[in-house]
Amino acid sequence: MKKPTKLLAALISSMLVLTACGQGANQLQTPSGQSAAQVNSTSKVRINNNSQSLESRMVRKSQTVRIKPDGFTAQHEGPHSGGTGEPISLTLVAEVLPPTVDGKTIQATNVYIKDSTTAYVSYDVAGDEYAGGVYIIDVSDPHHPVLKAEMTLDGTDFYSVTVKDDRLYLPGATEDEGFDSPAMLQSMSLFGGGSAFGDDLGRIDLPSYAATDVAAHMDNIYVSSGDVGGGITHLKADLSKAGFYPMFDARSVNMGYYDAVNDTAMLAVFKGQPGEVQLLGPDLTHVRTIDLPDSANIPVSQSILDVEDNIAMIGAGNGGTIAVDLAAGTVLDSMVPEHGITNGTSIGDVPGVRENLVFMAEGEDGVGVAEMIDGELHRLGSLDFEASYSSNMVRNDCCVVFVANGLGGLSILVMDDCENHHGPGPSPSPSVSVSPTPEPTPMPSNTPEPTPMPSATPPDGDDDDCELDFERDWEKLKIIIKFGYKGQGDINWDILKTKFKIMLKGKTRIDVSDIFDCVDGELSIDWKKLKEKHQEMVCDLNK
């Protein structure tokens, strides 16, 4: 986000426009006043899709990064306060030099990772100027990431990024005087499987001075903007307006929570001054508000909300890291750094290492690491980099961790001992298989007998050889589902997992008669069968 001088000027400008024009906060205007949502950019987008020319930006490393204990204010402290498993270590595999725009060095603001193979990194410039960009980084071989493409744009900051189908969506702020207010959303096309930039699809003017975050679900786009006059703007994929929910200081949005009771995806929103999580339906209907007192009180600050299952993990500024149960509407735990503030958090499972591992961007305190166990945050320590610098943003997905530092650079780390989902090579394997598992242990006698699943003959394989125990072999099943995907759209693991639990209920056995193929004793997911047999499940898979 910007320094107060730049944002204050933008804020005053925004307030003057709203007062002079008498427009409500939920009116979405294009600079020309047209009803059409899409507006061509007046700034020149510069694109470089030549990965060879960008290789010099990728400074290769091979440095072990361990987790060191540190002083912390928390309910549950220390590396031995309930963490599970062996000590965790990572390998720093690359430092990515930031882009420059007309001599200005820009800095990473957020990362979106698609299919665990491609990372999209948004950039802005510190200070009173506007300039932004995006990197596309191939992480299909986590130990050898490749910078595939670069896009830069003068006069516009980008604060976040998401991808839906073959389109890139970039919320931010612009100095374009043709806009009613600085907040805007830019869209670009992608090609080459999302590894290269296509055309500039234009931008749309949004209320307030900065569009802070974006989330996509099916053909819906949700953008937060703030603080004065801002809120949540609901757009369709072509940037036409579908709705608006006014909200002061809306900072982050996430569509990763699936409400099993109402059988629908929900939009989780974090706002500041004061800190709150608001849960909205896909049509922006208010569901509940979860108050987070004494958090996110610093104006003009970045806060990032991440979701795993029903848990929202929030980088709440001066409030540190806060864990919220979205289903129950309660605060589970919090953790405040000793010196810095927490701008962003990222929570996820690391196959073969830990479940619900939390990374926290804690400013001058660096990158904190915790584990979520039974609703409690257990501090493991902080990443011990050879070079000490502040952290502005962190994002992890499976084995890969991205860290944006205060100098503008981007660090890429790989979790050691992680069950690598692809292995070396330029592209992921089309499917992931697991070794046959032994017959599962019988269920206790007090457990109801599971309803038999539909019978079917697997192709070229023995049914018994490919059965999985739903509880005991959950991690193997997760790897198959999340990383055996054949490229037919974005898969939201959280939603899929919830759907499986509903579908199976008391059952513990999964066999190939449902959505799996068994070939020579190796099990893989059949995505065509999934779509044919469980269309109601597939319709909610995309973020």
Can you spell out the DSSP letters for 209-264? SEEEEEEEETTEEEEEEESTT-EEEEEETTS-EEEEEE-TTEEEEEEEEEETTTTE
Q: Give the list of residues 6+ apart from residue 96 with CB closer than 8 angstroms, or none.
A: 57, 58, 59, 121, 135, 137, 145, 147, 409, 410, 411, 412
CA distance 397 to 118: 11
Q: Which two tokens stand for residue 24?
A: 């409500």
Kindly state the helix (H) or strand (E) to which residue 372 belongs, with its residue range. Answer: strand 367-373
Reported pTM: 0.73
Query: What type of residue is 66?
Result: R
Work out the number of other CB atoms within 10 angstroms of the CB of residue 302: 24
Residue ranges of the chain with pLDDT lower than 70?
A: 1-43, 70-85, 352, 419-543
All domains of the chain in start order, with CATH: 4-415 (2.130.10.10), 429-543 (no CATH)
From the centroid of its chain, how far is CA 220? Answer: 16
Q: Give the list of residues 6+ apart from residue 24 with CB closer than 8 angstroms, or none.
A: none
pLDDT in tens, 212-222: 999 999 899 99
Work out the number of other CB atoms within 10 angstroms of the CB of residue 139: 25
From the number of C-beta atoms within 10 Å of its C-beta (0-12, 13-18, 19+), residue 228 rates as middle
pLDDT in tens, 370-384: 999 999 999 999 999
Q: What angle do CA 458, 460, 464 make, to 5 degrees?
A: 55
From the centroid of its chain, how far is CA 304? Answer: 9
Q: Which residues pair with 414 in a beta bridge?
A: 91, 400
pLDDT the model gives residue 113: 94
Determine if the peptide bond prior to 293 is cis (ω within 30°).
no
Cβ–Cβ < 8 Å for 413, 65 = yes
CA distance 530 to 535: 7
CA distance 215 to 213: 7
Cβ–Cβ < 8 Å for 18, 229 = yes
Residue 4 backbone dihedrals phi, psi, to 5 degrees: -55, -35
